[in-house]
Amino acid sequence: MSQFVKMICLVAAAFVATAVPAMAQDGGTSISFSGAFGAGVVLLGAGLGIGKIGAAAVESMARQPEVAGDIRGAMIVAAALVEGATFFALIVCMIS
């Protein structure tokens, strides 16, 4: 089983384990996980995406050092686009 699948299973198990006592409450209190859960998923995805961009860029620079400047510039642009989408998604999660 890959490391990613193990991580997803662990996160899902932790979410279920912490949500069960909160959902068992009776009374007038209501708990909403939509904004916080969405923000967590957004940040997890952004971290994985930027990590993948950085790993691929470093590997490419190691294979072809003569184009390291071009690769670095492309990496910065791609990471900036991912961060822009992340900020937009975080704002949407905070509003909802």
pTM, two decimals, is 0.61
User: What single string gives the DSSP state of each residue in 4-45?
Assistant: HHHHHHHHHHHHHHHHHHHHT--SS-----HHHHHHHHHHHH
Measured in whole angstroms, how far is the alpha carbon of residue 75 from the centre of its chain? Answer: 18
Q: How far apart are CA 23 and CA 62, in angstroms?
A: 51
Closest CA to 89 of 52, 12, 34: 34
Ranges of each domain in the chain: 3-95
- The pLDDT-based confidence of 95 (bands split at 50, 70, 90) is confident
Asked if 96 and 33 touch (Cβ cutoff 8 Å), the reply is no
pLDDT at 2: 80
What tens digit of pLDDT does each residue of 43-90 get? Answer: 899 999 999 999 999 999 999 999 999 999 999 999 999 999 999 988
Q: Is it true that domain 3-95 has CATH number 3.30.1300.10?
A: no
